[in-house]
Chain A
């Protein structure tokens, strides 16, 4: 459980985060989305105790980042941006160091530490490179080592700053499925500017711009809130007299306009129908009934939804004011 309220972080006179509030429970993957400089990384730095908030509260599993930074740090795993690693160490040495520093240190916990490292190595597909020095590993492997060090101590909260940057498409899919499985029981907060990642991974999304939250909720809910008039495309079997058909379609409640999208051919006729805001469902039903009443069959009905790209552009397109 992560709760953030009225969080402000200033660097000198520069306000990187200007009053952000949100909360996310366990079993959820929260995506922080926003253009560069929106404040995603700053929020993560405050949550991990690396930077102190200028004002506001951040509480992770009941521990406040200002009052109990060590407790907060013990409960989370963190993958910083750019995946910093000690390049002089091997994968196994590095994970051993991180596990020891994250509460699995000492001789008496050696067995637990070994088991934890083995689990992280398996989960991140690192078993083949455990003895290799980090400086010799490719970017993809380094990214996986970064993820392995974040999960090695089995934290309840995972904070991942751009976890899939620099990976190839196969690696991205692997890492995403790993994050998804981790997200089933942990609280995961990740930042990204890859929009498909949000759609693929996140149960909740926060869109940030210029240090402020501009939208919050599930990806669908954010989309629905932004949706204006909705466009539906349909195809019906058989040729129609376009004028007559269009007149009867326009008579369906909530239909604002209807146009043929291509000349009627022998087999199918296509229309584009615009429905009033939030009335897409009603119009889709109306079109189905219209087809039945006119003795024809609806063979295609496609509703255009706002993609994450559209949402992102609409919410963040304004030029920053500074």
Chain B
């Protein structure tokens, strides 16, 4: 674990030594705020709810999280530090977990900085704090899955831009999939499958304030399997 933390510390310093982390946090807060107050029509709705704030979270994350994860491996490859990293006495898993933790920490920081919105809004009405907790937990879990997916794509890319584009497309596809079930009349089993795979379907319950272990399990499975795939991809590269 200490090896993973060493890597996480180095990655965090890379995020904060460059404008990447600051731009991410500002863009995240701006887009969430815009969605909350304007798209979500907080004032007109007359309801003390954050549902508008969180309903579009899957799309915000689909576009912004890849900006964090695209550099994780593609940049190491480009500047040659990949070789340095892989000749350190760390297991591939430690490298992967360290990088994942760093990316997740930046998203978590952005989420934490968005807390004043519900806190301020709670002055004007009674918020259901349980719903807020569920929504933030869901957002964190989704960030975790998105970071893991983004890292896997980055580990297979030589170029940061292509890693970014591929991750955005993948995450958007996973988010939009659940719309298919409402647009088309799919057979029950297929609709179930499409919904099960969809990020936004699982996030939907959290944004309604429901913490379902199946949804928690979904995000955990995506996270763990993508991290595992990344580690395998890196190991496989040594035999080529």
Q: Residues of B contacting A73 with CB < 8 Å?
A: 87-90
Instruction: Give per-residue flags for A91-104: 1 if the beta carbon is below 8 A from chain B beta carbons, else 0.
Output: 00100011011110
Q: State whether the Cβ of B115 lies closer than 8 Å to any Cβ in chain A.
A: no
Instruction: Give per-residue flags for A1-24: 1 if the beta carbon is below 8 A from chain B beta carbons, else 0.
Output: 000000000011000000000000
Q: Residues of A contacting B18 with CB < 8 Å?
A: 88
> In the bound complex, how far is the Cα of B6 from the Cα of A106, in angstroms?
8
Cβ-defined partner of B6 (8 Å) among A12, A84, A88, A101: A101
Q: How many A-B contacts if CB must be within 8 Å?
A: 78
Cβ-defined partner of A100 (8 Å) among B6, B14, B17: B6
Judge whether B80 and A101 touch: CB under 8 Å. no
Residues of B1-50 contacting chain A, CB below 8 A: 2-3, 5-7, 9-10, 13-14, 17-18
Interface size class of B (residues with CB under 8 A): 20 to 34
**Chain A residue, CB-CB nearest to B78:** A84
Q: Residues of A contacting B89 with CB < 8 Å?
A: 70-71, 73-74, 101-103
**Chain B residue, CB-CB nearest to A146:** B84
Interface size class of A (residues with CB under 8 A): 20 to 34
Q: Residues of B contacting A52 with CB < 8 Å?
A: 238-239
Q: Residues of A contacting B88 with CB < 8 Å?
A: 73, 98, 101-102
Residues of A59-95 contacting chain B, CB below 8 A: 70-71, 73-74, 76, 78, 80, 82, 84-89, 93
24 contacts between A and B (CB under 8 A): A12-B240, A50-B87, A51-B238, A52-B238, A52-B239, A70-B91, A78-B84, A80-B80, A80-B83, A80-B84, A82-B80, A85-B79, A85-B81, A86-B14, A87-B79, A88-B17, A89-B10, A89-B17, A97-B9, A100-B9, A101-B6, A102-B88, A105-B2, A149-B84
Given contacts A78-B84, A80-B83, A101-B88, list 13 more A-B pairs with CB under 8 A: A45-B83, A48-B87, A70-B91, A73-B88, A84-B83, A85-B79, A85-B84, A86-B14, A88-B17, A97-B6, A100-B6, A101-B10, A149-B84
